[in-house]
């Protein structure tokens, strides 16, 4: 495969994963279940889908994988499970636009955690764009109209921090089997949700929503991102993944008429522009001592 063709396929794969991930809020609205039932059923389908993928990967692999797991993998599982549960909770408790605005700050949270834990260099561009994004988040949070909104925003912050920590762990231990980590995280979510969820068979529409969320949004979206991000640089992958942030509120607006308030729209636009400017920066920016 030529270099240009590989890069093009990588862009398409990452874009497809972003489109799939953007449907999370839509399927949460479609299921209309309590948080723990949603966590339980979604995690069941995610675990089954990723488990099947792992079995097929190991069966048809031409050579034995050199991936590892160990304590870093266990820590990643725990963090990933917390992020997954708080993501669903945030989508139930506040608007998708609020959640996506918080989630859009992920590159800054990743860079901040990597700086604290791994002493990765932080650029002046990061500081400027991060401050601008923080202003955008404050504007959006100021539009919260209820205690449940605030709780959902807090859950979105926890989710974003969890996703960022998971990324840093994977970066620190590049040989770790991240697919296995995601599958086991889904199993942890299921085990946590079982004693708390409702013991009843959901309606067919709810089962379909959970299946679509677990198989396509989470499992397939993750696999496409993993394959695509290996073929393009991190900056391109980050910019393309912003489709998730933009499309997420659009789906619920189209299908459920969940209107985005002008304040949230303004704050979200500031965050997205800040992230885009940061990720588009060249690598020769001066660094903060």
Position 65 scores a pLDDT of 56
Position 59 scores a pLDDT of 81
Residue-number span of the structural domain to which 151 is assigned: 3-279
Position 110 scores a pLDDT of 81
Position 67 scores a pLDDT of 64
- The 10s digit of each residue's pLDDT in 157-178 is 999 999 888 888 877 887 788 8
Position 284 scores a pLDDT of 45
In a domain, 287, yes or no: no
Per-position pLDDT tens, the chain of length 289: 555 777 788 888 888 988 999 999 999 999 999 999 999 999 999 999 999 999 988 887 765 555 667 888 889 899 999 999 999 999 999 989 889 889 888 888 887 888 887 766 767 777 888 888 888 888 877 766 678 889 999 999 999 999 888 888 877 887 788 888 889 999 999 999 999 998 888 999 999 999 999 999 999 988 888 778 777 766 667 677 778 888 889 899 999 988 888 888 888 888 888 878 877 764 444 444 4
CA 129-18-40 angle, to 5 degrees, is: 110
Residues paired with 123 in a beta bridge = 287
In 3D space, the residue among 208, 222, 186 whose CA is nearest the CA of residue 18 turns out to be: 222
Structurally, the chain folds into a number of domains equal to 1
Largest CA distance in the chain: 58
Position 90 scores a pLDDT of 95
Q: Which residues lie below 8 Å from residue 252, measured CB to CB, with a gap of 6+?
A: 25, 26, 29, 95, 96, 258
Q: How far apart are CA 21 and CA 32, in angstroms?
A: 18
**Token duo for residue 154:** 């807090």
**Token duo for residue 250:** 């659009």
In a domain, 229, yes or no: yes
- The 10s digit of each residue's pLDDT in 10-19 is 888 888 988 9
Torsion angle of the four alpha carbons 9, 11, 15, 16, in this order, in degrees rounded to the nearest 10: 10
HEC per residue, the chain: CCHHHHHHHHHHHHHHHHHHHCCHHHHHHHHCCCHHHHHHHHHHHHHHHHHHHHHHHHHHCCCCCCCECHHHHHHHHHHHHHHHHHHHHHHHHCCHHHHHHHHCCHHHHHHHHHHHHHCCCCEHHHHHHHHHHHHHHHHHHCCCCCHHHHHHHHHHHHHHHHHHHHHHHHHHCCCECHHHHHHHHHHHHHHHHCCCCCCCCCCHHHHHHHHHHHHHHHHHHHHHHHHHHCCCCHHHHHHHHHHHHHHHHHHHHHHHCCCCCHHHHHHHHHHHHHHHHHHCCCCCCCECC
In a domain, 289, yes or no: no
In a domain, 209, yes or no: yes
Phi, psi of 261 (to 5 degrees): -70, 150
């Amino acid at each position: 495969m030529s270099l240009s063709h590989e890069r093009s396929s990588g862009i398409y794969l990452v874009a497809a994963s972003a489109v799939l991930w953007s449907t999370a809020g839509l399927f949460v609205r479609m299921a209309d279940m309590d948080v723990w039932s949603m966590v339980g059923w979604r995690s069941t389908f995610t675990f089954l889908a990723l488990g099947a993928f792992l079995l097929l990967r190991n069966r048809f692999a031409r050579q034995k994988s050199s991936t590892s797991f160990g304590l870093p993998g266990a820590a990643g599982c725990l963090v990933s499970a917390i992020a997954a549960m708080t993501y669903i909770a945030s989508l139930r408790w506040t608007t998708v636009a609020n959640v996506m605005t918080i989630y859009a700050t992920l590159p800054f949270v990743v860079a901040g955690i990597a700086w604290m834990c791994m002493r990765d260099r932080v650029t002046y561009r990061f500081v400027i764009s991060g401050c601008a994004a923080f202003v955008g988040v404050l504007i959006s949070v100021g539009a919260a109209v209820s205690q449940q909104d605030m709780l959902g925003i807090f859950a979105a912050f926890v989710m974003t921090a969890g996703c960022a920590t998971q990324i840093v762990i994977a970066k620190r231990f590049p040989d770790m089997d991240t697919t296995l980590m995601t599958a086991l995280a889904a199993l942890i979510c299921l085990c946590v949700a079982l004693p708390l969820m409702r013991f009843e068979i959901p309606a067919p529409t709810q089962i379909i929503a959970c299946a679509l969320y677990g198989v396509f949004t989470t499992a397939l979206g993750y696999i496409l991102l993993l394959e695509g991000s290996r073929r393009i640089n991190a900056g391109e992958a980050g910019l393309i993944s912003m489709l998730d942030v933009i499309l997420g509120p659009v789906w619920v607006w189209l299908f459920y008429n969940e209107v985005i308030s002008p304040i949230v729209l303004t704050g979200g636009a500031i965050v997205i522009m800040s992230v885009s400017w940061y990720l588009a920066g060249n690598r020769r920016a001066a660094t903060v001592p």
